[in-house]
C-alpha cells in the first residue's frame, strides 16, 4: 500500500509540474530511469512492448468496427467481448451473441456490471441521481 502511495505522490508531482494535467508522455519520461519508482510499472523490453502495443491496436480496431443494421436503422458495433472470452482476449460477432439465449444473458450481465462500475465511479455526482435510480430499477 505504501508503494502505491509513493506512485500516486510521484504522479501528482508530475501533474503539478504540468499545470495540473497528468500526461502519459511525462509519466513515461519520469519512469525511464531505473531508479524511478515508476520504472517497474512499464515494459522496457522493446520487442515485448511492441507486441503488446500491436495487441492494443488490434483491440482498438475491433472496437471501432461498425456496420449499418437495416432492422434497427442505425450503425452498431460488429464485435463484442463477453466476460468469459476476456481470459483469451476474444471477441464475438454481436449479431450471433444477440441470437443466442446464453450469450445474450451474458452480454446483459456484462452491461449491468459496467453500469454498476459507472455508478460507483460517479456516485458523488448528485446530478446523476436519476441515472443511478434508473440503473437500480433495471438491475431489479
pLDDT tens-digit series, residues 69-92: 787 788 999 999 999 999 888 999
pLDDT value at residue 85: 94
Q: What is the CA radius of gyration of the chain?
A: 20
Give the 3-state secondary structure of 40-54: HHCCCCHHHHHHHHH
**What are the tens digits of pLDDT across the range 102-115?**
999 999 999 999 99
Amino acid at each position: 500500500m505504501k508503494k502505491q502511495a509513493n506512485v500516486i505522490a510521484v504522479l501528482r508531482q508530475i501533474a503539478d509540474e504540468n499545470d495540473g494535467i497528468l500526461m502519459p508522455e511525462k509519466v513515461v519520461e519520469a519512469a525511464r530511469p531505473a531508479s524511478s519508482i515508476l520504472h517497474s510499472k512499464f515494459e522496457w523490453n522493446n520487442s515485448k512492448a511492441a507486441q503488446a502495443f500491436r495487441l492494443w491496436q488490434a483491440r482498438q480496431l475491433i472496437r471501432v468496427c461498425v456496420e449499418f443494421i437495416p432492422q434497427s436503422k442505425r450503425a452498431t458495433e460488429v464485435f463484442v467481448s463477453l466476460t468469459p472470452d476476456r481470459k483469451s482476449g476474444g471477441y464475438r460477432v454481436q449479431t450471433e451473441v444477440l441470437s443466442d439465449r446464453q450469450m445474450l444473458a451474458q452480454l446483459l450481465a456484462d452491461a449491468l456490471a459496467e453500469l454498476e462500475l459507472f455508478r460507483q465511479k460517479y456516485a458523488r455526482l448528485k446530478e446523476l441521481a436519476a441515472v443511478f435510480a434508473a440503473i437500480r430499477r433495471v438491475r431489479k
